Structure 1
Amino acid sequence: MTDLDTAPATRVRVPHDALLDFTTAVFTAHHVPPTRARAAAEALCHGDITGTDSHGLANLTRIYLPLLESGRSPADAEPKVLADRGATVLLDAAGALGLWQAGEAMDLAARRAADYGVGLVSVRGATHFGCAGHHALRAVAHGMIGVVAANCGHQRIARPPRGRAPMLGTNPLSVAAPAGGHPPFVLDMSTTAVPTGKVRAAARAGEPVPAGWLADDRGEPVTDPARFDSGEAHLTWLGAPGGGEYKGFGLGLMVEVLAALVPGAGLGPPAAGPAADDDIGFLVLAVAPAAVREPAGFHRDADALFGAVLDCPPVELGEPVTYPGWPEARRAADAAARGVPLTLALYGELGEVADRLGLALPGEC
């Protein structure tokens, strides 16, 4: 029994590989080239496989298919290199599907890091790319540290502390690193208290959200998630309440600088035009420890660092201390062995997509 089985009556399990094949087929049915479609499927399903449902297949019909069907993300868009300085590259994504493009950017960054010790790829004209951690992990596959940060284009859903107007998006960032013989370290976070996906998931489920996620115009806590999309509530920053909201807001501005100001992508502030998540900017960075120290020593020290965290005595017996990336790796292993858990509602949505496109929906495990 795992923590994914807490509500067995509301979930089904679908074979891991069959779910990836189905999602790939959905993208190819929308004219995404096969290699891109597979990469996009892996990036999207990563959320469901690791238990980050808010960034998984729930967004297939809410974000990605509308992007493709509207033409805002051309299925065969060809990103262009605008500047190449060896260790640093600037790309215009040309609206390409972010689920694929972000991984390509990290692979390029890793190739440059192999030559220069670091590789930085700055991207503008991008679209939503799902879980930042999935793309940061691609650097770990090369024995490197990966950093990913993205703004939300012109989307404005969070207000500066003491401000009356929303100016920034959730502006996520991620860092992934090898952890020796342990599962990789993967920090994947929004700079707001939570991402919008968690709020909307609660709204779909008809469940309240904890105080501190949302606030009204007076700064009072809001627990009804439906009030977010109705415009009656806005996201709070990481660190709020309690006076620490300047930390989350500062991190959000940091991401805006690195991910949008540097490549020349769409900015949240100054407020002008529709608050849409078009012209997203992101930064991917690969750092190669082997360029500055002996790889075996790095591996040994990483193993000791994260092993020490896991060995920390817990406050409560049966609730071990872990680190970001460890629980997700455990869920991924469980999903590979026993199937990916999907809510009945999401499984029904995928069935509708399958019927519309003439595809076979994967059966339950």
Structure 2
Amino acid sequence: MPLPSPQLRELPRQASCAVRIRYEELLEFVTDLFALRGLAPERAATAAEALCYGDLTGLSSHGLANLTRLYLPLFDEGRVDPAAEPEILADRGAAVLLDARRALGLWAAGLAMDLAVERAARFGIGLVSVRGGTHLGCAGHHAARAVRGGMVGIVASNCGGQRIARPPGGRLAMLGTNPLSVAAPAGEHHPFVLDMSTTVVPTGRIRAAARAGQPVPAGWLADDQGLAVTDPAALDRGEAHLRWLGGDPATGAYKGYGLGLVVEVLSALVGGAALGPAAAALDGDGGPSGRDDDIGYLVAAIAPGTLRPQAEFARDSAGLFATLLGCPPVSPAEPVRYPGWLEGERARAALRDGVPLDPARYAELAELAAGTGLRLPAALGGEN
């Protein structure tokens, strides 16, 4: 999948005066926050790593921006059970059906991938179908857990009963953004990590632009007549809706819509989670409807080493992505990359120089620190 232009990839992820804090201190702070909400220490640490991954890799719309907007309210509203014990409902060896029982998705999706990896080591493939889930954050983070064991990871997630996007030609929202991720080893280079919504962008990118007071490119949103909308706040005002990958029907919107349905089938229909296209969707008014409860995940790990020598797979995987990096670019200023490379570079820089946070995010952390008694991570070069 070709990467978007650098301008689109950076909008609105970078702040001109970012506050940088050490990753370890950020991770500890978020871990402690989750622990205060009742998560066991190990679960809190896993969840914090999943959330901080967004800011570490530059995917800030899915990082700490969601801490006070999404995750903490899930606890406060009782939609997440911090003490939930996921239950295996069916176990067929290579395939498992797991009820997450409203566990925090940032942790539960990692648990599901670790189980899939364990089964893949025994059977060549491990597939864990999850119902009763909550928002999992960056799907790519969970898919990449398989790469640590030299495997290929796959994560697909619907949005539970939440409906955001309309079928092409439809008047009512029927599906969520339905993310899909695939991760694979790339030898000495950053792992391949495709993490994509099946809409042009996820809602987090739209709302991040709205918070920053920036317009979005034509093609992300459309009004009821199909005309482009560049005001990101129009989404939550009900004056615009997300477009599918491909844009117009003539340029491939049915492919994005079809991929959204693929994710719905794999993540929710297979395991019995809530469906976006349920009867209640027909009572909608054209805008978003429903809630993202009872989310479904399909989590899978593939172990090529059970089918052919692992060393051969590792050699070929490294060669595949090295060859892509060696492709001559049209413009020397824009070398050829692959999904996951840029995020890997950002993470490397953030681990060295500090994780960049928008000042507004840092102010939110300061408020949380003041309200909980936790120590606010120090801004590098400053005092707190």
Hey, what does 2:280 align to over in structure 1?
A: 272
1:330 and 2:330 aligned: no
Hey, what does 1:260 align to over in structure 2?
A: 268
What TM-score do you get using the length of structure 2 for normalisation? 0.92
1:317 and 2:324 aligned: no
**Structure 1 Cα separation of the partners of residues 336 and 89 of structure 2:** 45
Please state how far the C-alpha of 1:220 moved relative to its aligned partner: 1.0
The correspondence for 1:300, drawn from 298, 312, 315, is 315
Hey, what does 1:343 align to over in structure 2?
A: 358
Hey, what does 1:132 align to over in structure 2?
A: 139
SS at match of 1:240: coil
1:69 and 2:84 aligned: no
- The answer (yes or no) to whether the contact 1:167–1:271 under 8 Å persists in 2 is no
Runs of 5+ in structure 2 lacking a partner? 1-8, 282-288
The correspondence for 2:177, drawn from 155, 170, 185, is 170
**Structure 1 Cα separation of the partners of residues 276 and 53 of structure 2:** 28
1:360 and 2:375 aligned: yes
Please state how far the C-alpha of 1:7 moved relative to its aligned partner: 6.4
The correspondence for 1:157, drawn from 145, 151, 164, is 164
Distance 1:157 1:9, change over 3 A: closer
Give RMSD over aligned pairs: 1.4
Hey, what does 1:122 align to over in structure 2?
A: 129
Hey, what does 1:93 align to over in structure 2?
A: 100
**Structure 1 Cα separation of the partners of residues 201 and 129 of structure 2:** 25
**Structure 2 Cα separation of the partners of residues 30 and 207 of structure 1:** 34
Runs of 5+ in structure 1 lacking a partner? none
Aligned residue runs from structure 1 range 190-205, under 5 A: 190-205=197-212
What TM-score do you get using the length of structure 1 for normalisation? 0.97
Please state how far the C-alpha of 1:69 moved relative to its aligned partner: 1.3
The correspondence for 1:290, drawn from 289, 292, 305, is 305
Return the letter of the residue paired with 2:66: N
Please state how far the C-alpha of 1:233 moved relative to its aligned partner: 0.8
Please state how far the C-alpha of 1:270 moved relative to its aligned partner: 2.1
- The answer (yes or no) to whether the contact 1:122–1:262 under 8 Å persists in 2 is yes
Please state how far the C-alpha of 1:319 moved relative to its aligned partner: 2.1
Superposed CA offset, 1:131-174 (max 9, x none):
00000000000110000000000111100000010000000000
**Structure 1 Cα separation of the partners of residues 332 and 338 of structure 2:** 17
Q: Count residues in correspondence.
A: 362
SS at match of 1:188: strand
Return the letter of the residue paired with 1:292: L
**Structure 1 Cα separation of the partners of residues 365 and 351 of structure 2:** 20
Hey, what does 1:145 align to over in structure 2?
A: 152
Hey, what does 2:284 align to over in structure 1?
A: none
Please state how far the C-alpha of 1:70 moved relative to its aligned partner: 1.3
Please state how far the C-alpha of 1:8 moved relative to its aligned partner: 6.4
**Structure 1 Cα separation of the partners of residues 70 and 168 of structure 2:** 29
**Structure 1 Cα separation of the partners of residues 194 and 15 of structure 2:** 28
Divergent runs of 4+, >2 A:
6-10
Hey, what does 1:244 align to over in structure 2?
A: 252
Return the letter of the residue paired with 1:124: R
**Structure 2 Cα separation of the partners of residues 10 and 179 of structure 1:** 33
SS at match of 2:272: coil
Superposed CA offset, 1:235-292 (max 9, x none):
0000103531000000000000000000000001124176100000000000000000
Superposed CA offset, 1:310-338 (max 9, x none):
00011111321110011111111101100
**Structure 1 Cα separation of the partners of residues 280 and 17 of structure 2:** 43
The correspondence for 1:210, drawn from 217, 240, 251, is 217
SS at match of 2:70: helix
SS at match of 2:280: coil
Return the letter of the residue paired with 1:207: Q
- The answer (yes or no) to whether the contact 1:15–1:340 under 8 Å persists in 2 is yes
Please state how far the C-alpha of 1:9 moved relative to its aligned partner: 4.4
- The answer (yes or no) to whether the contact 2:15–2:357 under 8 Å persists in 1 is no
Please state how far the C-alpha of 1:86 moved relative to its aligned partner: 0.2
Distance 1:130 1:7, change over 3 A: closer
Return the letter of the residue paired with 2:355: V
